[in-house]
Copies of this chain bind each other. A is one copy, B any other.
Amino acid sequence: MKTVKEGEIRRREILDVAQELFITKGYDQTSVNDILKIVDIAKGTFYYYFASKEEVLEAIILDIVEEGARRAERIVKDQSIPLLNRIMMAIMAQAPEFEGSDEIKEELHKVENAKLERLYLKTMLKRMTPVLQEPVRECLEQGIVHTEYPTECIETILLLGHMMFDCDTFEWKMEAYPEKIQAFLCHAERMLGTKEGELSGFLQMFGQMP
């Protein structure tokens, strides 16, 4: 049987199902046929909308990063939050981990998902660095931070936050996290050149970690 739908709707259906599968099963472990079965379309239809399985991955990651960046932008603009806090809050709010369910967090970052992971990181860094540029510049002007490398500082903190807490790079045990978060905040402080302890309040904001 043939069900015809408007182009954009079909596209979204495929994207949504693929996202669910890529994240829970992993990119490599998800076959195009898996997607077809759930969306209930034929192979030809899939390749009518996307040139390849990888193109779907790219589109999904672009979506996820864009959503996170928008959350970050909202925070950066919020004048009611102290400037330095805005930066750290934006970095945290941007990570998609905090949105998804617990199972997703566990499944998301296995070695099998390396491709997803790597593409996500590159895309996220490109999108997020400019978002934080302005508030960091302001911090610099106001003498809240002291660094010769503001851009590199942002890049580094974004990278570190992702590698340490979003992916499971170090495979830390649950109990290790409070210490690791404190170390991360201390390093962020030192790189930015803030007053000591300026960021320590963020420890509790990390809430429950993987």
Interface residues of A, count at CB 8 A: 33
**B191 near A187 (CB under 8 angstroms)?**
yes
Interface check A148, CB cutoff 8 A? yes
Residues A170-194 near B (CB distance < 8 A): 170-171, 179-180, 182-184, 186-187, 190-191, 193
From A5-13, A30-38, A62-70, A109-117, give the one contacting chain B.
A109-117
**Which residues of B have CB within 8 Å of A180?**
152
Interface check A153, CB cutoff 8 A? yes
A156's contact among B117, B118, B160, by CB below 8 Å, is which? B160
User: In whole angstroms, how far apart are the Cα atoms of A122 and B155 in the complex?
Assistant: 21
User: In whole angstroms, how far apart are the Cα atoms of A180 and B156 in the complex?
Assistant: 10
User: In whole angstroms, how far apart are the Cα atoms of A122 and B168 in the complex?
Assistant: 9
**A155 near B182 (CB under 8 angstroms)?**
no
Against B, the Cβ 8 Å flags (1 = close, 0 = not) of A28-68 are 00000000000000000000000000000000000000000
**Which residues of B have CB within 8 Å of A159?**
160, 163, 169
**Which residues of B have CB within 8 Å of A155?**
170
Which residue of chain B has its CB nearest to the CB of A168?
B122
**B125 near A169 (CB under 8 angstroms)?**
yes
**B156 near A186 (CB under 8 angstroms)?**
no
Interface check A121, CB cutoff 8 A? yes
Which residue of chain B has its CB nearest to the CB of A147?
B186
**Which residues of B have CB within 8 Å of A186?**
147-149
Instruction: Provide 12 A-B residue pairs closer than 8 Å at the C-beta atoms, listed in order of the A residue.
Output: A111-B122, A114-B115, A114-B119, A121-B169, A125-B170, A149-B182, A149-B186, A152-B179, A155-B170, A160-B160, A187-B191, A190-B190
